[in-house]
Amino acid sequence: MEVFGIVIGIIGGLFTIIVGSIEIHKFIKDKKNRISSKGTNQSTPIEKLIPNINDQIRFQGEITINSNLPRRELFVGRKQEINNIYKAFNSHFPIISITGIGGIGKTSIAKEVCYKFLNEKIFDGVIWITAMDSKLEFEEVIDIILKSSDLNFALKLPLKEKKKQVNNLLNSYKILLVLDSFEEFVNDKDLIKFLENIPSNSRIFLTTRFVENIDAFQVPLEGFEEDESLEFVIEHAKLIGLELKSDEEKILWKLFSLIGFAPLAMKWALGQIKQRGQSIETVSKWIKSAKGDIFESIFNYSWSILNENDKLVLMTSSILHSSINIDVYNRVTELEESTLEDAITTLVELSLLSASNSMQKKDKKYKLHPLTRFFTKSHLRKNKPLETKLIQRSISYYLDFINSHGGKKWKWGSFDALDREYDNIVQTINWLYDQKEWLSIKEIRNQLTLFLSIRGHWNKRKELAYKVIEACRETNDNITMAWCLVYDLAYIDLKYKKYDSARLKVKEGIEYFQLHEDTLGVATATRHLGRIAQMKGDYQKAKELYEKSYAIYKSQDPDYGAFLLWDLGDLYREQKQYSKAKEYFNRSLNESSGKEGKSEAVNSMAHGCMGEIAQMEKEYDLALFHYKEGLKIANRIGRSDEMALANKRLALFMYNIVKDDGQALKYAKDAHVVYFQLADYESVNELILLVQRIEKKSNICSSELK
């Protein structure tokens, strides 16, 4: 890095010591004020402001907060309850909860209030976390917050550092953190402590059947008011295509008063009336004769009017934690396409399944309400052979799915498909582990390791590696165990700078590789030992180890060999031997150019380093070419650390060499965004200083840049 960059780095370090994160928050606040001062006070309908739940809501030009709210559905009434919730938030109490029995509408009203908050700009963003489908651990909650805020690469940090990143986010922005079905979290002491100490800038919003182990402002929820219930009957009947006469609407209104105007029970009953052979009279008779739990009684009546195909589809839905698509139903139920579509239509009409709002059939996904899942599973458990068959078919589907989209190739697009099915894939792994299907567990590891690494699922990668090690011990598979020790666990240790722990794992793994003459395994272990030696300052040993590893890869996996050439270039650069560094970076470029997958990753890295050396040699046109090529490739493959570094290099180059303050500010701003996401606060502070210096010099406001 040029002298100016070094000076800036030193100043940035001092800046951090003196003022810490206060200046970060001040910088963000200043940018927020500049943008908000340009806004408008004109009101806009919610539907236009939030046209799609997957839209990204951008604030301050700093962080992209994704609105991950569930889709908006039919909602009527609840005016008094919404008013009570607003009063609760006006109390400045940090934690607000909606409490009530299952099926009373807690999730629906919470969702509606969240959309209102976004429309009224009360919060910068809403992050929705639900335990409806599966129980979440504390770290998984933290990970969801990071993903929802475009902070994916912070997923690779230790939990302690992740918490710092999340606290920084919640302190810098007004975030509403929603925990749906909070009763599933009440015994998680780490989560409770985290929620009770949330930064005052943000708030917590809970839906729960009961409040326990946490101090919260409670807003109780019961059934509809009488006038609201009639409106709900009319609107939901229209939604499912049920034609009602005015006198029938009044009959139903009186009937539903018997069940406390509970929304879910009303939906189920209206769906029952819509089915062939059913009527208001038959359903009324059943409800009036119901005893005990009214929800269970109404569900059992729905169950009684389903045919065997309908029940099969519903039971298939109940065994998987997350929502599922038509391909899963096809494979697991083995029903004809038309029969399957009829069953899904019936279940949606009965409000036993809810469908996503995708227009494409292949993209539409279906899920169950927790009460529906509970009651359906109670029926499925009575038929153990069928439950086993459905689980095995689900496993078979997801194994094929993993094999299609996973593997050792760096397939960026396929990783998106795996991410969409991530929860069900994790459940598949757990099923296989419980069944001690050791061979399948080992194969899944081969298919998913790269995906888990690239997408930042470090904890699951580590958890899977330990499961595979157990499988290896049961099957006397020392080679696969060695790969888990070296490629998975030691690699993660290196990322966390646990060099001694990494060395122990590598030493154990390399013995197995040597014993079984696995030369690629030896090459990987040797590279890790080289990295450890370099970090410890033993450059000669690192050089010997890198060269030894490269010699093996050159003959067996030339594409990966380019990484070793980059390692050697980086080693010489660290020693300020720039001529040798240039030689190896050039070789890395030559061996990776024009190739896809992992070659693109190392190609981006090499371009950036070659740009630095060209700039030092005052070959400015060549430096600019390398910088831009490196950024282009990093953007294409989504490599955030390289994107940040490439933007930073270009910012300094434009400022110091080209003297183009506008371009320098643009690149500095982009680099700042990504470094903030990566929780690299030293670089964040360095770029804040650079931005302030450029703005002061040229009177450019960064918030005006497009």
Q: What is the pLDDT of residues 376-422, one digit of tens each?
A: 988 999 999 999 999 999 999 999 999 988 876 666 567 778 888 88
Helix (H, G, I), strand (E, B) or coil at 478: helix
Question: How far is 337 from 290, CA to CA, in rounded Å?
Answer: 36
Beta strands in 209-295 (DSSP E): 217-220
pLDDT of residue 313: 93
* Confidence label for 12 from pLDDT (cuts 50, 70 and 90): very low
Lowest mean pLDDT segment, chosen from 17-26, 277-286, 537-546, 623-632? 17-26
Is residue 423's pLDDT more than 70? yes
pLDDT of residue 556: 87
Average pLDDT, the chain: 81
pLDDT of residue 357: 67
pLDDT tens, residue by residue, 236-267: 888 888 887 777 777 777 777 777 778 887 78
Question: How far is 681 from 9, CA to CA, in rounded Å?
Answer: 12
Section 59-82 average pLDDT: 69
Question: How far is 264 from 262, CA to CA, in rounded Å?
Answer: 6
Question: Which one is predicted more confidently, 492 or 291?
Answer: 492
pLDDT tens, residue by residue, 595-648: 877 788 889 999 999 999 999 989 999 999 999 999 998 888 766 778 889 999
**Secondary element (H or E) of residue 355:** strand 354-355
Work out the burial of residue 463: count CB atoms within 10 Å of its CB; fewer than 13 is exposed, 13-18 middle, 19 or more buried.
middle
Section 331-353 average pLDDT: 91
**Single-letter amino acid, residue 144:** I
Question: How far is 207 from 217, CA to CA, in rounded Å?
Answer: 12
pLDDT tens, residue by residue, 110-137: 988 988 888 888 888 888 888 776 667 8
pLDDT tens, residue by residue, 446-469: 899 888 876 667 778 888 999 999
Q: Which two tokens stand for residue 650?
A: 């270009």
Question: Which one is predicted more confidently, 281 or 401?
Answer: 401
Is residue 62's pLDDT more than 70? no
Is residue 487's pLDDT more than 60? yes
Question: How far is 399 from 429, CA to CA, in rounded Å?
Answer: 9
Using an 8 Å Cβ cutoff, are 287 and 252 in contact? no
Question: Which one is predicted more confidently, 592 or 471?
Answer: 471
- DSSP symbols for 416-471: HHHHHTHHHHHHHHHHHHHTT-HHHHHHHHHHHHHHHHHTT-HHHHHHHHHHHHHH
Instruction: Phi first, then psi: give them for residue 477, nearest 5 degrees.
Output: -105, 85
pLDDT of residue 442: 93
Question: How far is 266 from 330, CA to CA, in rounded Å?
Answer: 30
* Confidence label for 704 from pLDDT (cuts 50, 70 and 90): very low
Question: How far is 68 from 53, CA to CA, in rounded Å?
Answer: 6
CA angle centred on 571, ends 567 and 575, rounded to 5°:
165
pLDDT of residue 329: 93
Section 324-347 average pLDDT: 92
Is residue 35's pLDDT more than 60? no
**Single-letter amino acid, residue 138:** F
Section 33-46 average pLDDT: 32
- List CB contacts of 689: < 8 A, sequence separation 6 or more: 8, 11, 12, 15
pLDDT of residue 460: 83
pLDDT of residue 412: 59
Question: Which one is predicted more confidently, 542 or 161?
Answer: 542
pLDDT of residue 32: 39
Lowest mean pLDDT segment, chosen from 200-214, 280-294, 506-520, 559-573? 280-294
User: If DSSP states are collapsed to H, E and C, what string results for 589-634?
Assistant: HHHHCCCCCHHHHHHHHHHHHHHHHHHHCCCHHHHHHHHHHHHHHH
pLDDT of residue 76: 83
Question: How far is 301 from 254, CA to CA, in rounded Å?
Answer: 19
Give the rounded percent of residues in the chain with a pLDDT score beyond 90.
32
pLDDT of residue 166: 86
pLDDT tens, residue by residue, 137-151: 888 888 888 877 767
User: Could you tell me where the DSSP H helices lie in 20-129?
Assistant: 22-36, 46-49, 79-90, 106-119
Is residue 43's pLDDT more than 70? no
User: If DSSP states are collapsed to H, E and C, what string results for 646-695?
Assistant: HHHHHHHHHHHHHCCHHHHHHHHHHHHHHHHHCCCHHHHHHHHHHHHHHH
- List CB contacts of 279: < 8 A, sequence separation 6 or more: 273
- List CB contacts of 659: < 8 A, sequence separation 6 or more: none
Question: How far is 687 from 666, CA to CA, in rounded Å?
Answer: 11
CA angle centred on 237, ends 231 and 243, rounded to 5°:
115
Q: Which two tokens stand for residue 336?
A: 């004809």
Question: Which one is predicted more confidently, 517 or 130?
Answer: 517
Helix (H, G, I), strand (E, B) or coil at 104: coil
- DSSP symbols for 481-525: HHHIIIIIIIHHHHHTT-HHHHHHHHHHHHHHHHHTT-HHHHHHH
Section 200-216 average pLDDT: 85
pLDDT of residue 396: 94
pLDDT tens, residue by residue, 20-33: 333 334 333 443 33
CB atoms within 10 A of CB 167: 16
pLDDT of residue 428: 93
pLDDT of residue 115: 87
**Residue whose token pair is 């990093």:** 634
* Confidence label for 501 from pLDDT (cuts 50, 70 and 90): very high
- Closest listed residue to residue 369, CA positions, set 231, 264, 262: 264
Give the rounded percent of residues in the chain with a pLDDT score beyond 70.
84
CB atoms within 10 A of CB 662: 11
| Confidence (pTM) | 0.66
CB atoms within 10 A of CB 502: 25
